[in-house]
Amino acid sequence: MMHQHILLFPLLFVAGLTAGLVDAIAGGGGLITIPVLLGIGLPPQVALGTNKLQASFGSGSAMLTFIRAGTVRLGECRTGIAFTALGAGFGTWVVQLLDPGFLRLVIPWLLLAIVVYTLLTPRLGLHDIHPRMGPLLFFFLAGSTLGFYDGFFGPGTGSFWVMALMLGLGFNMTKATGYTKVMNFTSNFISLLFFSIGGSVLWREGLVMGIGQFIGARIGARLVVNRGTRFIRPVFITMVLLITARLIWQNFR
């Protein structure tokens, strides 16, 4: 089969490296990896499952970098991890039964709203602000909803998490990006478990991409820690616009 050709492994590594770098900064790494996996001939379910394997390396690498830098306190994430895991497991189970066509139509316009709001509030995420709700309520709502979404469909999950953390808990954009990676890793890992049970993961290809993801995400997370919100903001807006454009193109082609 095409995807088993050994010359494809350097391509998969580079795709993972690039996606890990971009995803650690602003999300949207799936824009790179999923088309590559589909392009080498994988069925959609297997492409999604393999993507969760390699994405787990990237989000895990970024998460560790943010924790070591002091951007993230893992103890504060326990409630979010629990609700995100539950949501992701349910979403991954449902997506294997249903067609996520409705979300393909709705999500681009929600992402576009994020871009507009970010552009209209230029100081959003520059500093911590007073939280609008308590952590328990926030993580119950955001964790279960975005965890389900990531397991069921996925594009733009990181963008939704960053915006939710800034608006709900008052985080600055650097801190929100760090905590997003913890939740991304949770939903990626839980989704991977469900896809692997269903036999929808190519481990060799996913591990090659995963090594690239790990390296790229480490570089990207360090850039975020060292350069802060003013560096993240334009990359964040650009990636959200690219995700939106791709989803709209897929809907109307």
The DSSP-derived string for 151-210 is HHT-TTHHHHHHHHHHHHS---HHHHHHHHHHHHHHHHHHHHHHHHHTT---HHHHHHHH
Q: % helix / strand / coil in the chain, to the nearest 5?
A: 80, 0, 20
**227 contacts: CB under 8 Å, gap ≥ 6:** none
Tally of structural domains, the chain: 1
**Which domain does 248 fall in, by range?**
2-252
> How far is it, in rounded angstroms, from Cα 207 to Cα 111?
30
| The dihedral sign for the CA sequence 152, 156, 158, 160 | negative
pLDDT 10s digits, 158-213: 889 999 999 999 999 999 999 999 999 999 999 999 999 989 899 999 999 999 99
Q: Are 232 and 177 in contact (CB under 8 A)?
A: yes
Q: What pLDDT, on a 0 to 100 scale, did the predictor assign at position 3? A: 45
CB 199 within 8 A of CB 43: no
| Residue 6: DSSP 8-state | T
User: What pLDDT shows up at residue 4?
Assistant: 53
pLDDT (0 to 100) of residue 250? 75
How remote is the C-alpha of 56 from its chain's centroid? Answer: 9
Evaluate whether 91 touches 193 at the Cβ level (below 8 Å).
Answer: no
pLDDT at position 1, please? 44
Q: Please report the pLDDT score of residue 100 as a whole number.
A: 64
> What is the model's pTM?
0.87
User: Look-up: residue for tokens 């959003």?
Assistant: 124
Q: How does pLDDT run along the chain (253 residues), one tens digit per residue?
A: 444 567 789 999 999 999 999 989 888 888 888 888 888 888 888 888 999 999 999 999 999 999 999 999 999 999 999 999 999 999 988 877 776 666 667 767 877 887 787 777 766 667 778 889 999 999 999 999 999 999 887 878 888 999 999 999 999 999 999 999 999 999 999 999 999 998 989 999 999 999 999 999 999 999 999 988 788 888 888 888 888 888 788 777 6
- Among 73, 82, 27, smallest CA distance to 175 is for 73
27 with 159: CB under 8 angstroms? yes
